[in-house]
Structure 1
Amino acid sequence: MQSFETLSQQFATRFQTDHFPAAPATLYDPNRYFLKLGGKRVRPVGVLMGNELFDTIVDDAWAVATAVELFHNFTLIHDDIMDAAPLRRGQPTVHEQWGPSTALLAGDVMLVKAYEYLNGISAKYIVPINRLFNNTAREVCEGQQLDMDFEKHDAVGLEQYLHMINLKTSVLLAAALRMGAILGGAGERNQNLLYEFGRKLGLAFQVQDDYLDAFGNPEKFGKQVGGDIKSNKKTFLLIHALETASGSDKEELASLLAGNAPDKVERVLAIFHACGVDAWARELKDRYLQEALTHLEDIAVLSKRKEPLRELALYLIHREA
């Protein structure tokens, strides 16, 4: 069994191939630029790890992993347009460099290329892989729409937020792992368990991400903390604070969300601490992580084969950055 780091390096080497034609360069060069920005590649490597959990990695797994990574980057290009984001991984976004119209087309053609890779796999896998891929793609779009809808809502409940995060963030990792399991010949029960492992891991990851934005060390986190607070982004932390704050804390929090005080981040963090949001978030993250690891443990393969996935889960959730 290979570690995430080893498989990630192998995937990065294979993924460096040019996925697009030369012309028109005005369409394809933006995608080449965007893909060179890199990323953690957790989702495509999840395909490989899901395959290797059950059997030797097959050639089709590399094609499916590539399709998953291209799909993920398609969503990022379009997300950046919707968010009017100027930067992605410290570099100008595609719509900033080439304009929103080209960015839309670049994302579209990246999605088309993902399907080209999927349609090249062995015939016996095309139907189950495409069915899962299509269902996941639809769910990711639903999650993104809900995320935008929530920006207009004064109040969002925790269950609503969980549903949105599950669709927008968790299902793609879960599906990547399940695609690998399908290619590895896993039975339905093992596929379901691995999917749930990925889904719960995705939820734990998002709780950790929300937590680090508020309470992380900016030098280790890689960006200034409090960005979500400044933009009034509805996160696990803010939703819980709005549900549990009382008296003057509740009034002050409402006032801070309605304004843009220079010390907004510090004052919101003080309310978070007073409400015990930090401890609650850590407990929630640990709960999802333990649920994920329980699903992994229940998979009917030798324990040593699960070790790379267990190590990946602990690395992702216990990271400081």
Structure 2
Amino acid sequence: MPSLDTYRQLLEDHIESYIQPGEPKGLYDPMNYIMKQGGKRMRPALTLMGAELFGTDCRKALDAALAVEVFHNFSLVHDDIMDEAPLRRGKPTVHHKWDVNTGILSGDALLIKAYQLFEKYEPATMSALVSLFSKTALEVCEGQQYDVEFEDRKVVALEEYLKMIEYKTAVLLGAALQMGAIVAGQNQDNQNALYRYGVLLGTAFQIKDDYLDAFGNPETFGKQVGGDILENKKTFLYIKAQELGSAEDKAALDGWYETTEASDEKVEQVKVLFQNTGAVIATREAIADYTQRAFDQLDTIQTEAARLEELRGFGEYLMNRTV
């Protein structure tokens, strides 16, 4: 199988040829702006990997992969509006560079463009891709709504949180991989196992993101460490601290989360509570557990062992990250 860098270069070349100026400029310029900003291109790379896993030339999956990336950017445009975020990837967000109405409309257009990319496949493949994509897109919206609702709730159960991150983050990784298997003409068992691998790995990825937000290296993490704490987000660490902590610990945590004070002291004191309650250890254990469960799915996929090792290597790369 090609390397991750090879997949990314194929994607960048395909995106470059896909992006074209259009009229009215007020619609197409913002779309092209967000697509040109780059990013890790991790999700579409998974679609290419999903095809190569079964011996299919990954270039046959480029349009499906691009649909995943276009959809991801649609979600970023709308998320930035909801979060009132001024920056994305170090540049002004679409709604700040233009305006909110432009952000909404150009985001909507990106979603439509994602669907159009599936039209390049023969009918049976297109039908399977669209069906999976529609299911996933709706789940991502559901996950985003759960996330919004959790902001105003004092108590969020761990099961609720896990469902939220599965829908908001993990299902798109699973679907991206399964789309590659669909293009490769694989049976449903292989498709399902690959999807579950992606969902489990995506769940581990998001829990690790929670962990890095609090305990990552500020020089490599790429954003403010402690941002979730300052925003009073109910992350895996927070929920575990509430579950495992003493009455005194819980009261102290509640006190910090009832204030909107943005201070270094708040971040440091909450991190101490995460450590003292055992939430840090529990979070690390959850990351390891979900990662292992993801790798266990690989043992059920029928293909060459060497190709499976490439996918396992990607999972290890993803989970060993410090950014």
- The bucket for the TM-score relative to the shorter chain is over 0.9
> Using the alignment, how far apart are the partners of 2:152 and 2:34 within structure 1?
30
Corresponding residue for residue 273 of structure 1? 275
Compute the displacement of 1:9 (Å): 1.3
Contact 1:60 1:121 in 2 (8 A): no
Say which of 283, 300, 303 aligns to 1:301.
303
Distance in 2, Cα, partners of 1:209 & 1:229: 13
Q: 1:58 to 1:244 in 2, by over 3 A?
A: closer
Partner of 2:13: 13
| Post-superposition offset of 1:307 | 2.0
The match for 1:289 is 291
Amino-acid identity (%)? 50
* Cα offset, 1:278, TM superposition: 1.4
Deviation of residue 56 (structure 1)? Answer: 1.9
- Name 1:188's counterpart in structure 2: 188
Is 1:93 the counterpart of 2:80? The answer is no
Q: 1:21: Cα distance to partner?
A: 4.3
The 8 Å contact of residues 49 and 58 in structure 2, kept in 1 or not, is answered as no
The number of aligned residues is 321
1:19 and 1:113 in contact (8 A); partners too: no
Q: What's the secondary structure of 2:54's corresponding residue? A: coil
Report SS of the residue matched to 1:16: helix
Distance 1:261 1:47, change over 3 A: closer
Q: CA deviation at 1:273?
A: 0.7
Asked whether the 8 Å contact 1:58–1:183 carries over to 2, the reply is no
Q: Which residue of the partner structure matches residue 48 of structure 1?
A: 48
The 10-residue stretch of structure 1 (15-24 or 213-222) with the greater mean CA deviation from structure 2: 15-24
- Amino acid of the structure 1 residue aligned with 2:83: D
**1:55 deviation in Å?**
2.3
- Corresponding residue number in structure 2 for 1:36: 36
Whole-angstrom CA distance in 1 between matches of 2:130 and 2:224: 40
Contact 1:60–1:122 at 8 Å: present in 2 too?
no
What amino acid is the match of 2:147?
D
C-alpha deviations, 1:164-218, integer Å up to 9, x for none? 1100100011011011111112111111110000000000100110000111111
Using the TM superposition, give the Cα deviation of residue 73 of structure 1 relative to its aligned residue in structure 2, in angstroms. 0.4
Give the TM-score of the pair, scaled to structure 1.
0.97
Give the distance between the partners of 1:58 and 1:281, measured in 2 at CA: 35
Question: Where in structure 2 are the equivalents of 1:1-321 lying within 5 Å?
Answer: 1-57=1-57, 59-259=59-259, 260=261, 262=263, 263-321=265-323
Between the aligned partners of 2:224 and 2:105, the Cα distance in structure 1 is: 32
Note the residue ranges of structure 1 that are not aligned, 5 or more in a row: none
* Deviations 1:13-38, CA, capped at 9 Å, x for gaps: 11112434421111111111111111
Q: Secondary structure at the match of 1:298?
A: coil
Runs of 5+ consecutive residues of structure 2 not aligned to the other structure: none
User: Separation in 1 of the partners of 2:178 and 2:83?
Assistant: 30
Contact 2:200 2:293 in 1 (8 A): yes
Q: State the TM-score, normalized to the length of structure 2.
A: 0.96
Task: Please say if residues 70 and 113 of structure 1, whose CA atoms lie closer than 8 Å, have aligned partners that are also in contact.
Answer: yes
Deviates more, 1:52-61 or 1:213-222: 52-61
Letter of the 1:205 partner, please give it. Answer: F
1:40 and 1:27, CA in 2 relative to 1: closer, same or farther beyond 3 A?
same
Superimposed CA distance per residue, residues 116-173 of structure 1 (whole angstroms, 9 cap, x where no aligned partner): 1111212221111111111111111111111111111111010000001100100011
CA RMSD in angstroms, aligned pairs only: 1.2
Q: Which moved more, 1:48-57 or 1:13-22?
A: 13-22
SS at match of 1:54: coil
Q: 2: distance between equivalents of 1:20 and 1:111?
A: 16
Distance in 1 between residues matched to 2:78 and 2:213, nearest whole Å: 23
